[in-house]
């Protein structure tokens, strides 16, 4: 998949625990783990908004497009 989720990187940069983020945005730690691993087909905009609000980041900080032909 050419879209990579960088949530782990952003969490580490901000020294935030997954448990705290999951609690704040209102999803289970299991679902957050799937998101961090890139094992989801999509993410709701309101969830993305809450993540960005909590982490003080932009959606582009969390998602990267990687061209597979490179």
**pTM of the model as a whole:** 0.88
CA pair distance 38, 1, nearest whole angstrom: 9
Report residue 59 as tokens.
Answer: 């959606």
Residue 1, pLDDT score: 60
Q: What is the pLDDT of residue 70?
A: 57
Neighbours of 54 (CB within 10 A): 15
Q: How many CB atoms lie within 10 A of CB 25?
A: 19
Distance CA 10, CA 56 (A): 10
pLDDT in tens, 7-57: 999 999 999 999 999 999 999 999 999 999 999 999 999 999 999 999 999
Which positions ≥6 away from 55 have C-beta within 8 Å? 10, 11, 14, 16, 21, 61
Q: Over 90: is that where the pLDDT of 69 sits?
A: no
* Structural domain boundaries in the chain: 3-65
For 3-65, CATH gives 1.10.260.40
């Amino acid at each position: 998949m050419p879209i990579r989720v960088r949530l782990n990187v952003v969490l580490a940069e901000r020294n935030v625990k997954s448990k705290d983020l999951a609690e704040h945005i209102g999803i289970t730690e299991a679902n957050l783990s799937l998101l961090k691993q890139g094992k989801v087909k999509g993410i709701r905009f309101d969830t993305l908004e809450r993540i960005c609000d909590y982490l003080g980041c932009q959606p582009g900080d969390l998602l990267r497009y990687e061209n597979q032909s490179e």
